[in-house]
Structure 1
């Protein structure tokens, strides 16, 4: 009999697509023991922008050349919703429009289907899998804390909770320390927004899946994972089994000859603070001035990836929020004389940089990051403490967890009402603390980050918690594989 197929429906953004694909490749390579194998069929939606389409096709070409049993099924194009108000609403609605095509693709499979693996924004498509007699798994590319929050959000909604930005006390989420309103994920702050409505719906539909695959580890997030497994997220209703198989990172492609890495080679160990803000992070000129003042005054060595605004920033922008920053003209954006005054101890890099290789370098001692989960996992894998500077999506909750729950980061006061603005003095304080020139917070964060480095690596090693979860998942997938109904 042909190997059962894992059929994947990822959101097209690299942080979602590659995290899901790398996770399911681990399942493919594990075989679940006994030499049993899987194949992967990735259902490719046409992204709503040309830039995203180009990225997805590049990923497809690379994986097609990997030699693994990975196939790509391109779904028919659909017309994007023209009246979506928020990014998250647009993504969820656009994916939902593909439901008939996903059904046709599954029904046309000639081999058994182990499961339909759905991006978190595609959770309502559990109905498609159920109607065809196929197991469905939601893939959580974010934190266990975000999973616990999303599962509990419908409970909060039914209880008639006030607007998150209006409540005086913290938000109680089982498995997490009390969450300050300022740390609630961006899409749900305004209960009147379609984004909020969609997140309530998504959290509810997670509960209808056969299981949840999470890119985290028990040792990283024991509180929220235990709360979900123990039925505390949705009282009176058992959650699907969660398989924390992370950290799942693509660490194979290295750029040892990159100019940033060569510059780090000349720096002392743990002496450089690295500032990088993800594939969509950029700052207005006024914020750039504050950052330069902080870096100049703190005296520490730094490597700063400084990107310019997206090319569409002056127009409507990409409907799914996937526009990427542009390369920066440093002479235009940086204050006059900054590069000369910091020459020898700082490097400002105006384009893409190999973040994984930089975090792996022994010269890097701290990371000022937007707090996207993939970036966080890369930092923890290498034991680098952080100062989280959240910008969008669930990153405010991530920042709270890194500081208050994991203890691997120093706090950075971000003015959420001023578009996440950070004053120079505050960034200077955080960098000094992070790099060890003052305060106990930084020392504790460095110690905890070193501990979490061991936790990450032990989890995925043979006999580790994530390795065991992967084996359980592979067995469950084999046991549930079925020929789809027509």
Structure 2
């Protein structure tokens, strides 16, 4: 009887930034780890129809890849109706799947399971893995800085009894990071009375019970937080699970489609002359903010490519319980001030729908990136050596913005008024765009130099002999040695 290859069983959150990051990372194990594995992806039905359609599109594409990947759709569960916040909803909704996850993994016997790979929001399911006698790995799709904070959050919870913006000294100490001003703490933890905060403390505690942590980052990209975790400074007196920084993991394959109109427009622009503004799959702005952006871009005098999305529709998806309010295609006639397109014709392009961000960042004409600072977008920017101006909107993006400016040095700061729903005034954006793009700006020059350095860091890390390549080999060995047939 042929020996069955150990299975990696994945349980991602349904958002593309979570699902695809986990899947691409584990495909790297499948393709380059040196041992034979298969992948089984456990598919939860997302709580909205739009998210369900997106997940099914990802499944169809991966099923056609020819790789040893199978998909197991878990039974539907009831949607929590009383969640007070997005993060609480996601964590509770995922936890309701625990019995179905247990049944699915147990049914894999006699195939050995190398690991149950859990989304950060699914960390409490380390108990399911323990009951089945198989290893568990938390997958961190965000930064090493966010991982360091999550592990340290239960410690902070015991030490700091007031809100973070009331701490003495005006900063929060997270091992491995420069002192963090409370204004840059992630959205889920800014209100300790919120169930979101309680869940994050719980999740950070459960990270410590995993067999290991797989992180989409690299040692040389975030040396401070990763060293703090490895040295035991995150949770004094308790050793953290081994962290395997195997990133950056980004999908860089060609879409196979003809050149996109945005890319064709960039072909006619000088090298490093265009500032690119794009705010992720859920980023959109009210009309008042759009006016501020137009004024800033017009007055800056710089060339720009701006992906502008309209507000979510009122069809029930807006205000979705999991926070997945997807923008619509923008009506430029309604959103943009009269005459703006005519006045900026030739040096600016406003694109009202989806745009190929990776292809745009790879283009030689792009010299700077105004971004919401989601980690996947940041990694794409660093991979191509593009300096950033972070404009955080939700989730952990405020901490990302702090790290990019204060720790990595690859970005210039943008004044974002968090108390006004992350509002940015025209004068502040104009200053930042000028700093990012002007050749005489010392701040911009340093960010460009550091971004170029990080481009080399990212590529060296994943090359043969690089730190992430070595971490991938260690992970592959650990997975193979720990593989066990699930108990019934």
Band of TM-score, shorter chain: over 0.9
Match status 1:125 vs 2:90:
no
Question: Following TM superposition, by how much is the alpha carbon of 1:314 offset from its aligned partner in structure 2, in angstroms?
Answer: 8.6
- Does the Cα contact within 8 Å between 1:459 and 1:467 map onto a contact in 2? yes
- Which of 378, 391, 394 lines up with 1:392 in the alignment? 394
Equivalence map 1:357-372=2 (5 Å)? 357-372=359-374
Deviations 1:204-236 (A, max 9, x none): 000000000000000100000000011000000
CA separation in 2, counterparts of 1:277 and 1:223?
A: 27
CA separation in 2, counterparts of 1:322 and 1:231?
A: 36
- Which of 11, 15, 18 lines up with 1:16 in the alignment? 18
CA separation in 1, counterparts of 2:314 and 2:63?
A: 31
CA separation in 2, counterparts of 1:282 and 1:314?
A: 17
State how many pairs are aligned: 483
Deviating more after overlay: 340-349 vs 106-115: 106-115
Question: Following TM superposition, by how much is the alpha carbon of 1:165 offset from its aligned partner in structure 2, in angstroms?
Answer: 2.7
CA separation in 1, counterparts of 2:372 and 2:166?
A: 25
CA separation in 2, counterparts of 1:313 and 1:80?
A: 18
Question: Following TM superposition, by how much is the alpha carbon of 1:162 offset from its aligned partner in structure 2, in angstroms?
Answer: 1.6
- Which of 26, 46, 54 lines up with 2:28 in the alignment? 26
CA separation in 2, counterparts of 1:176 and 1:327?
A: 39
Q: Match for residue 60 of structure 1? A: 59
Secondary structure at the aligned position of 1:191 is classed as coil
CA separation in 2, counterparts of 1:96 and 1:334?
A: 43
Match status 1:166 vs 2:166:
yes
- Does the Cα contact within 8 Å between 2:124 and 2:206 map onto a contact in 1? yes
Q: TM-score, normalised by structure 1?
A: 0.98
Question: Following TM superposition, by how much is the alpha carbon of 1:256 offset from its aligned partner in structure 2, in angstroms?
Answer: 5.1
Match status 1:93 vs 2:92:
yes
Secondary structure at the aligned position of 2:39 is classed as strand
Q: TM-score, normalised by structure 2?
A: 0.98
Equivalence map 1:337-486=2 (5 Å)? 337-486=339-488
Structure 1's unaligned 5+ residue stretches are none
Structure 2's unaligned 5+ residue stretches are none
CA separation in 2, counterparts of 1:167 and 1:431?
A: 33
Secondary structure at the aligned position of 1:409 is classed as coil
Q: Match for residue 288 of structure 1? A: 290
CA separation in 1, counterparts of 2:398 and 2:335?
A: 27
- Does the Cα contact within 8 Å between 1:113 and 1:483 map onto a contact in 2? yes
Deviations 1:379-404 (A, max 9, x none): 00000000000000000000000000
Q: Match for residue 191 of structure 1? A: 192
Equivalence map 1:31-430=2 (5 Å)? 32-33=33-34, 36-110=35-109, 111-167=111-167, 169-254=170-255, 255=257, 257-312=259-314, 317-430=319-432
**Superposition CA RMSD, Å:** 1.1
